[in-house]
Structure 1
Amino acid sequence: MTYAEGHPVRLIAGRLALDFLNTADWAPDGTVLHEKIAGLADLDVWVRAVGLSAAARPSSIDVVHRYRRDLRRLFRTGTGLGSATLQARLRDVDIAGACSLDDLARQPVLGLVALSALSVLSDRRERDRIKTCPGVDCGWMFIDETRNRRRKWCLMETCGNRAKAARHYRRISAKTETA
């Protein structure tokens, strides 16, 4: 699946809430460098990609962007999105009425994201494994599920390879300058 601009939908984080945060590329200061959900059609693409094809979506993309920004701040710093906001999103989810996974997939998408966020943030073992990719203009977040907790990059084939190539270029350049 691809967004309207042709970028592939990448689900690398391991949790719905973090994959939601990764629908933008982020600067270190928390500003969006590249928006992947520019409109509600892009949100629909992402919702289908995560398997929530019948999920109810908000009527405004601004609501989505604001919620994502605040939720990212909460994951990064522990502040920014009050528990009242998470609880308000969770009130929209009727898990008791969901008898099957198909029923759950029809819940409001931001409510399901809130449920995922609450699950991750309330489990210290998961919270301690949240990492942010150090790649240039990336800022994606993921759960490091490796045994030794040494995963560094969101994806090795993108950010990891770019960093390795840049390091190699610097080493080669330094050698040619000293020769």
Structure 2
Amino acid sequence: MSYSEGHPIKLVGGRLALDFVNTADWTPEDEVAHEKLTNIADLETWLRALNLEQTEPVQDLQSLIDFRFRLRQLILKRTGDSVLNVVQSLDFSRAGSNASIPFNQSITALIAASAVSVLTDNRELKRIKMCPGNNCGWLFVDETKNGRRTWCSMESCGNRAKAARHYAKIREERL
């Protein structure tokens, strides 16, 4: 199920770039386990949830999805690419040449700005974690005082992990 078909939109990343990367569920091998942006309607639904529906329309969804993969690799330091190379790979020709961001800026430009902000701040980078949930792999900024947040969300992955541990314990006790 995709966003336009009613899949719930969960914004747990703490930064736009991370929430964008989280528009897919990921396997431990960095493959997409569940794609939530299958068409432009899905992207529009996601943008509405973020109050970003005034951004310029996206013409090429596949390029945006390719950017998402490269961005994830960069955040997880699984690539030799630089922030500059990833950002320069985007087409900002429609964004205008002035330094201010117009109200109807492209979503790729907004995501890129968020990514640059995260990737150039070592304090932010150190707090980025990946959810260990089964085929989740979502990224989030751990903003807890003690830095011990584990799950993207206790309501989903955390709860499933607790239930699985409980079930395994009961099975073990019965043997």
TM-score (norm. length: structure 2): 0.90
Query: Could you list the per-position Cα deviations for residues 125-146 of structure 1 after superposition, in whole angstroms to 9, with x for gaps in the alignment?
Result: 0000000000001010000000
2:149 maps to a residue whose letter is: R
1:70 maps to a residue whose letter is: R
* Other-structure match for 1:108: 106
1:140 maps to a residue whose letter is: W
* Other-structure match for 1:72: 72
After TM superposition, list the pairs within 5 Å mapping 1:26-41 onto structure 2.
26-41=26-41
Matched, 1:12 2:12: yes
Secondary structure of the equivalent of 1:4?
Answer: helix
Per-residue deviation at 1:5? Answer: 2.5
Matched, 1:48 2:48: yes
* Other-structure match for 1:119: 117
Per-residue deviation at 1:33? Answer: 0.7
RMSD after superposition: 1.8
Per-residue deviation at 1:51? Answer: 1.7
* Other-structure match for 2:99: 96
* Contact preservation (8 Å) 1:23, 1:36: yes
2:74 maps to a residue whose letter is: L
* Other-structure match for 1:145: 143
**2: CA distance, partners of 1:58 / 1:110:** 9
Structure-2 change in CA distance of 1:19 and 1:80 (3 Å): farther
TM-score (norm. length: structure 1): 0.88
Identity between Structure 1 and Structure 2 (%):
47
- State the number of aligned residues: 171
Per-residue deviation at 1:90? Answer: 8.3
Secondary structure of the equivalent of 1:9?
Answer: coil
Per-residue deviation at 1:80? Answer: 5.7
**1: CA distance, partners of 2:26 / 2:8:** 17
